[in-house]
Homo-oligomer: A and B are copies of this chain.
């Protein structure tokens, strides 16, 4: 082993991924593997014209969640939903999940019941099965989930398929999960200042808190697109914020994009939270993470079908790569849109309006290298 000690944080997110890829470069590639590291999920041929996709995510107490905020049943649900979200981003249907858990000594049977009730509820909601797992003691609560899904070879959608002239679409509304986190962090701070033990108040700001604690994977959206006869040209799930995901599509597809800020939808409750904290609602909508909506591109001729769909918005268009990723609003005109990565719980997220002109990339906190390859 080398005698040097170089901190991992010094590599940055893309440096870390590049370094990993270097170490892994000489593993021979199988002809059945269609997509390895570099999309929301890996894709390989299963047989009978079907592709399988596989994705994995880890949720760690103190990094990805705070156990004082989230009932274990919500956490069980969320751990499945965030992986299903990666599967549906490939236009695939989830089939099987494995759930591994590291349980700290202060985790009770009742908490475990809640956790697996949440897992079971999500499996039922998304029409999938829990087929395995592994449980150990651990220093803190760790959840590691893998989900396998299926898609017809002709229907698979990657990040890399966007073409100049396509339109950029978004399901649902965004910024809510970030607003929910902001409310929860504020409640905790207020209670800590009072010296009282914390009890989450899930009644106030119900919608945004639910967006944060119990997000929904948009399996319904890919089904609706199929029924409408629309196959997206590229797709990604919004885990790190719209701005960051547009950059992923741009980089993987070799295109630029313009996001029309007034077209990016947010819920009135999200706006109320931003107003209360004197924050910029556009920063919530563009840089807030964990909404698990779908960002995708469609051909121009499919736009009328999108316009007829409930809960899907056209938020921009795809341009040549040299134009880069930009945002437009009537107030500011066209300006560069930087990814402004979302930071997880242990470094409380601060969507920074300065990120419009800032070069700061995502941090090391959460590097999903199945999802972030160059």
Contacts and interface: CB of A to CB of B under 8 A. Distances in A.
Given A10-B109, A23-B116, A37-B133, 4 more contacts: A6-B109, A27-B124, A36-B129, A56-B146
A330 interface: no
Tally of this chain's copies = 2
A354 interface: no
Given A124-B28, A132-B41, A63 B137 contact: yes
Interface stretch (A43-51, A182-190, A224-232, A304-312): A43-51
9 contacts: A1-B114, A6-B109, A11-B109, A23-B120, A27-B124, A33-B96, A58-B100, A133-B369, A135-B367
The A interface is mostly helix, strand or loop, or mixed, namely mixed
A355 interface: no
Given A138-B60, A142-B138, A47 B44 contact: no
B131 A42 contact: yes
Nearest to A50: B47
A214 interface: no
Contacts of A133: 37, 56, 368-370
Contacts of A60: 102, 136-139, 142
Contacts of A57: 100, 134
A110 interface: yes
A132 B54 contact: yes
A128 to B, nearest CB: 8
Interface in A109-157: 109-114, 116-117, 119-120, 123-124, 127, 129-140, 142, 144, 146, 148
Contact of A132 (B10, B142, B369): B369
Nearest to A363: B137
Interface string A90-117: 0000011010101100011111111011
Interface string A31-73: 0110011000110101111101011111010111000000111
